[in-house]
Amino acid sequence: MSVILVVDDEPDVLLLVKTQLESEGFQVYTAESGREALEFLDKNKVDLLILDVVIPGMSGLDVLRKIRSGEKSGLPVVVFTALGREVDMMLKPENEADAYLRKPYTKEELVETVRGLLE
């Protein structure tokens, strides 16, 4: 069973994504901040990270940079974004995510993206 960490500061979004992915057989953990996500990643094996760009404290872009420059640089990352300009920032090589989902997304888009990266 693949393990996914979802990072978003909105509890409703976390619950929705967790529910959608668990219904497809994934094991899902959640974090509400970048620091919480990095601490979880240091202590646990995760197969995929879903990351919102706008989170309190350390931004999603900062989290992505830390991951890409560290031991978990190969971890697949899906970025949630609500604004087009955020995608422009993430296209820089040091910020590169594996996939992007623009909010609002459908369950089908989410599951297809996750499965595609885990295959």
Beta strands, E only, the chain: 3-7, 27-31, 48-52, 77-81, 99-102
| Structural domains in the chain, sorted by start | 3-118 (3.40.50.2300)
- In this predicted model, what pLDDT tens digit does every residue of 14-25 receive, in sequence order? 999 999 999 999
**Measured distance CA(37)–CA(5) in Å, rounded:** 8
What's the pLDDT tens digit per position in 55-103? 988 988 899 989 989 999 999 999 887 766 555 555 555 557 898 888 8
Q: How many CB atoms lie within 10 A of CB 115?
A: 13
pLDDT value, residue 110: 98
Q: Give per-residue burial for 2-33: e unless 16+ CB within 10 Å, then b.
A: bebbbbbbeeeebeebbebbeeeebebebbbb
The token pair at 74 is 């190969």
For residue 74, give every residue at least 6 positions away whose Cβ sits within 8 Å of its Cβ, in sequence order, or none: none
Q: Give this prediction's pTM.
A: 0.91
Yes or no: say if 116 and 99 are a contact pair by the CB < 8 Å rule. yes
Distance CA 108, CA 105 (A): 8
